[in-house]
Amino acid sequence: MIRKWAMRAIIAYLLFGIAIFLYLFYWADTSIPEALKGTSADPATFLNGRELELSEEYSRIRNLMFFLATPYEWLFYYLVLILGLSAIFENSAKHISKFFVVRNAIYLFWLSFASLVVMFPLSFLSYTISKSYNISTQVFSAWMKDKLIDFWVQYATMLVVVTVLYALMRKFKRRWWLAAWVVSIPFSIIMMFIQPVVIDPLYNDFYPLKDKQLEAKILAIAKEANIPANHVYEVDMSTKTNSLNAYVTGVGSNSRIVLWDTTLERLSDDEILFIMAHEMGHYVEKHIYKGIAGYLLLSFVGLWLTAKLLDKWISKRGKDWKVEKLTNIGSLPAFLLITSILLFVASPLTNWVSRYQETRADTYAIKMTHDKEAGIKTFQSLTKSGLSQVNPPLLVKIFRYEHPTMLERINRIEDYKIDDTSSED
Active site residues: 279, 362
278 known ligand binder: yes
List CB contacts of 113: < 8 A, sequence separation 6 or more. none
Taking Cα atoms as reference points, which of 146, 104, 106, 91 lies closest to residue 123?
146
- Answer yes or no: are the C-beta atoms of 412 and 359 closer than 8 Å: yes
Measured between its terminal Cα atoms, the distance across the chain in Å is: 69
**What is the signed CA dihedral for 52, 259, 422, 283, rounded to 10 degrees?**
120
C-alpha to C-alpha distance for 9 and 277, rounded to whole angstroms: 47
Instruction: Report which DSSP code applies to 251.
Output: S
- Answer yes or no: are the C-beta atoms of 235 and 261 closer than 8 Å: yes
What order do you get walking across the sheet with 232-235 strand by strand?
Answer: 206-208, 232-235, 256-260, 246-249
Taking Cα atoms as reference points, which of 290, 287, 278 lies closest to residue 367?
278
SS3 239: coil
Residue type, 152: W
**How many beta carbons lie within 10 A of that of residue 279, not counting itself?**
24
Q: How far, CA to CA in Å, does 421 sit from each of 361, 369, 414, 417?
A: 15, 12, 14, 7
- 208-217: which pairs have CB atoms within 8 A and are 24 or more residues apart? 208/232, 208/233, 208/234, 209/233, 209/234, 209/259, 209/264, 210/234, 211/264, 214/264, 214/269, 214/272, 217/269, 217/273
287 known ligand binder: no
Taking Cα atoms as reference points, which of 306, 390, 396, 391 lies closest to residue 351?
396
282 known ligand binder: yes
SS3 425: coil
C-alpha to C-alpha distance for 403 and 344, rounded to whole angstroms: 17
**How many beta carbons lie within 10 A of that of residue 345, not counting itself?**
12
Cite the annotated binding site by residue number: 278, 282, 358
Cite the annotated binding site for Zn(2+) by residue number: 278, 282, 358
